[in-house]
Every structure is written in C-alpha cells, then in structure tokens.
C-alpha cells in the first residue's frame, strides 16, 4: 500500500520572507525594554537576529541557487551608502580620544547600525514575489495591531500586559511607565515610549486599509482587517502625540491621493466615522489633541526642545563634517535632543545627515516609481502605503530622536528595504518594452572599428 510522502521539515520550508516575519514578530511582540542578560553590552534580541539575517544575506550572495535577488537596486545602494558613511565617521571618531562610556556606546552603536542596514538589504533582496510580499505585510499589520491592542488596554484599564511577556535569557532595562497628559494615560504598548507607539500605529494604517479593501474586492472575510485598522487607528490617537497626529494627517492625504474613484469617498467616510466613534468613546480626547497644537508656542514639551537648538549647533560646529561618533552624544551627560536631524549632525556630521536623509528619499523615489511603472492596482496601493511610510520617517525624525528607539528604527530600515523589494517586483511584472531599431553607442563604436579595419 503506497504511503503519502512526508512533509518537509519546517526549517526547509522557511525562506527569506519567513525569516523577515519572524523578525517582525520579535520586534513588535517582545517588549522593547527587554535585552540579553549576562553580556557586557545592551543588546536587544532583534538586533542580534537582524545581524544574523545580514550574515545569511552575505552567504546567499556567494551562490546562485537560493533565489535571492541580485543586481542594481536604488534603495539597496542608499542603505550601503548610509552604512559606509557611519563606518567612516566611526573610524574618525575612534582615532581621537573618547571617554570609556562614549567609546563603548560608539561600538554598540555601530553594531546596531550595521544590523539594521543588513535587515533593510535582506528584505530588499529576499522578498522577490508578490505573494511573499503580501505574507510579510499581513504579518506586519497583525503584529502592530497586537501591539496597539496592548496599548489600548494600558490606556483604558491602566493594565500593563507586557509584564507577562517575560522570556528566558532577557532582562528589562527599565520599568514600565504610564505618563499622563491632561488626565489621560499615554500608552506605549510593547514599545519604549508613547511617541514611538503612536508613530508605529500610524505607519500600519495604510497597510491595514489596503488589506481591508482587498478583502472587500475579493469577497473575503473582512472583520480581521477592520479590527486591525481600528486598533492601529485608535492606538495612534490615544498616544496623544503631535508626531502621531501629523503622521495620521500624512497617511490620510497620501491615501486620498493614491486611491481612485468612489474609494476616495469611502476613505473619507471611514475617517469621519472613526473620528466620531472616538469622540463618543473617549470624551475630551479630541479637545486634548486640539490643545496640543493650539498651545504649541507655550507648551513646555515644545519650548524645552527648541531652547536646546543653540547649544546643539555649538556641538555641531566642533566636528561639522564627520561628527563625534554615532551614539556618543549622551543625553544625561550633555543634553536631551528630540531631533534626529540635529542628533545626526552632532554624531555623524554632514556625511551622516546626507546619507540618512538620502536613504528615505531614495525609498520614496522607489515607491513613486512603482506607481508610475505598474499597471496593477494592488501594487500601486502598496506603493502608496510605502510613500506614507517614508514621509512618516522623514517627519518623525524632526520631532524626536528616531534612531534612539529600537522599534521605529527597525521599522524604518525595514520599510526602506521593502521599497526596494516592491520596485523589483513591479519591474519584474512590468518589463520595459524592447527597443527595436535603436543602435546603442557601443554598437556604433564597434561598427566604426570594424569599418576602420576594413
């Protein structure tokens, strides 16, 4: 009697996209304040896993049998330039004297930068087909919705569920805190801070909306994506963060600009309905959000940041080109600076700032390019979501030190790599038309050489 073939072990069926899904689950489910215990540096498990992905990517470039994409890709080049700039500034910084505490942080900072850059490149080259891209993004929406759900419980019940998410071999670097603003508790979910929590939730909104509309078009169950959309939207609102509200505005404008026809009315109606439900569910919430911007000139949380800008420029003038070294500008030793652009100028100079901004600008270019070359509505919708992700990163960097927060930093590098993967997929599905009858300059040069020889 013939027997059914045995299924392959799970480790033989996991590909690059599956490993990216594991990374996303670690990033959003494991509380960000947990790091490895009994090692001499503060190292998060996600950084170690991202470094492992970098090693796997390097090994995959040595063979042609693993299905990993190769060749030119603009976001991958931008990530490489950012890493090269940080290596240069690290070399310059460590040539001069640095106190032991700053030198240790410079070393650990380079490990973090290298690991996050490796993550972006790994995503760019291993997510090569649309089906795997959808798998990764569905996992992204799901785990951010879980993080948002934990934050909503913190907001509504003052109950921290992350205290039950303990893992062997990890220790907490800090205790959970639940700051308040206008008598409202500000949740952070599994992230480190309410600002980071709000931005992460806002980043997931266009992807959740995409899969909700996709389920509606295909007649599939839509309750799960509707629940995810409500969770991440509610998380962004209850974070009571100006950065999160600005990110929500960017998301709404980009989605309205990229969808067509009646769907714009659907998006506008859903936005108004969600806002109305939030007003009824949490009285006083929108009044508090309005006060965040109405009193921005006198708000101590804003003035304390702008008052430090003059001192920041004095530090920039000391090492304007290469900076003082990534991670060496300690807030408890110098000053707290909630601006990633100024922080980058201080730590890595103009070299680091140009490559840092260029990384997101190139990612934005790749997403826009997909909208131009693709004739597939699904890819164009995902490209619109990636445009909003790049704009959120650029805006958030001006309002808080983005690279100091592990979750949003990891998602930012992941998003840049995803822009490159999306561009690869769009080009593979929409190859450029063949140019018939056009003679290139190399062909003309060879023809002239042949004619001269005759």
Supply the DSSP symbol for 437: S
Per the structure block, which two tokens stand in for 69? 């994409």
pLDDT of residue 8: 54
Would the CA dihedral through 229, 366, 80, 73 be positive or negative? positive
pLDDT of residue 1: 46
pLDDT one-digit tens code per residue, 5-45: 545 555 456 788 899 999 999 999 999 888 888 887 788 89
Global pTM? Answer: 0.89
Assess contact for 242 and 293: CB atoms under 8 A: yes
- Residue 9 domain flag: no
pLDDT of 11 reads: 47
Nearest-10 crossing angle of helices 242-258, 194-218: 20
Any domain includes 253: yes
Q: State the DSSP H helix or E strand holding residue 117, giving kind and residue range, or none if neither.
A: helix 100-126
> What's the token pair of residue 178?
């639940």
Residue 165 lies in a domain: yes
- Residue 13 belongs to some domain of the structure: no
Geometric angle at alpha carbon 204, from 184 and 57, rounded to 5°: 130
Residue 5 lies inside a defined structural domain of this protein: no
Q: Which residues contact 319 (CB under 8 A, 6 or more apart)?
A: 346, 349
Q: Are 137 and 123 in contact (CB under 8 A)?
A: no
Q: Alpha helix (H) ranges present in 61-99?
A: 74-95
Name residues of the chain where pLDDT drops below 50.
Answer: 1, 4, 6, 11
**Is 92 contained in some domain?**
yes
Is residue 337 included in any domain, yes or no?
Answer: yes
Task: Tally the domains of the chain.
Answer: 1
Q: What whole-number distance in Å separates Cα of residue 402 and Cα of residue 116? A: 13
In a domain, 7, yes or no: no
DSSP state of 97: -
Question: In the chain, how many H helices and how many E strands?
Answer: 17, 4
Give the model confidence (pLDDT) of 163-188 as tens digits: 888 888 888 887 766 777 767 888 88
List the domain range (segments joined by +) for residue 165: 24-430
- Percent of the chain topping pLDDT 90: 38
């Amino acid at each position: 009697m013939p027997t059914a073939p045995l299924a392959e072990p799970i480790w033989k069926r996991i590909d690059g996209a599956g490993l990216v899904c594991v990374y996303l689950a670690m990033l959003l489910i494991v509380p960000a304040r947990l790091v490895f215990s009994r090692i001499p540096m503060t190292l998060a498990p996600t950084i170690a896993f991202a470094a492992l992905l970098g090693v796997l990517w390097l090994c995959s470039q040595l063979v042609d049998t693993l299905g990993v994409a190769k060749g030119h890709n603009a976001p991958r080049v931008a990530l490489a330039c950012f890493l090269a700039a940080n290596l240069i500034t690290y070399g310059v910084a460590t040539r001069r004297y640095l106190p032991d505490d700053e030198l240790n942080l410079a070393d650990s900072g380079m490990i973090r930068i290298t690991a996050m850059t490796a993550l972006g490149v790994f995503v760019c080259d291993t997510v090569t087909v649309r089906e795997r891209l959808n798998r990764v993004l569905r996992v992204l929406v799901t785990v951010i919705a879980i993080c948002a759900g934990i934050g909503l419980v913190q907001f509504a019940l003052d109950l921290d569920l992350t205290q039950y998410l303990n893992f062997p071999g990890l220790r907490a670097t800090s205790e959970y805190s639940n700051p308040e603003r206008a008598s409202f508790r500000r949740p952070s979910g599994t992230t480190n801070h309410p600002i980071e929590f709000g931005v992460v939730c806002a980043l997931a909104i266009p992807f959740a909306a995409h899969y909700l509309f996709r389920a509606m078009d295909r007649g599939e169950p839509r309750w799960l994506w509707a629940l995810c959309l409500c969770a991440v939207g509610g998380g962004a609102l209850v974070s009571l963060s100006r950065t999160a509200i600005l990110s929500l505005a960017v998301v709404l404008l980009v989605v309205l600009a990229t969808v067509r026809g009646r769907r714009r009315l659907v998006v506008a109606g859903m936005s108004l309905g969600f806002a109305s439900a939030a007003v009824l569910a949490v009285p006083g919430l929108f009044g508090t959000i309005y006060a965040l911007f109405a009193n921005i000139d006198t708000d101590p949380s804003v003035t304390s940041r702008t008052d430090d800008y003059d001192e920041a420029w004095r530090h920039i003038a000391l090492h304007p080109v290469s900076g003082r070294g990534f991670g060496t500008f300690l807030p408890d030793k110098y000053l707290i600076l909630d601006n990633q652009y100024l922080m980058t100028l201080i730590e890595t100079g103009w070299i680091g700032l140009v490559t840092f901004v260029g990384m997101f600008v190139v990612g934005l270019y790749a997403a826009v390019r997909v909208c131009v070359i693709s004739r597939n509505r699904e890819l164009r919708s995902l490209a619109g979501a990636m445009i909003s992700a790049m704009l959120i990163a650029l805006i958030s960097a001006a309002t808080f030190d983005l690279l100091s927060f592990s979750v949003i930093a990891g998602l930012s590098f992941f998003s840049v790599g995803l822009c490159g993967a999306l561009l690869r997929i769009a080009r593979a599905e929409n190859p450029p038309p063949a140019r018939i009858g056009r003679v290139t300059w190399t062909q003309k040069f060879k023809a002239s050489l042949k004619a001269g020889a005759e």
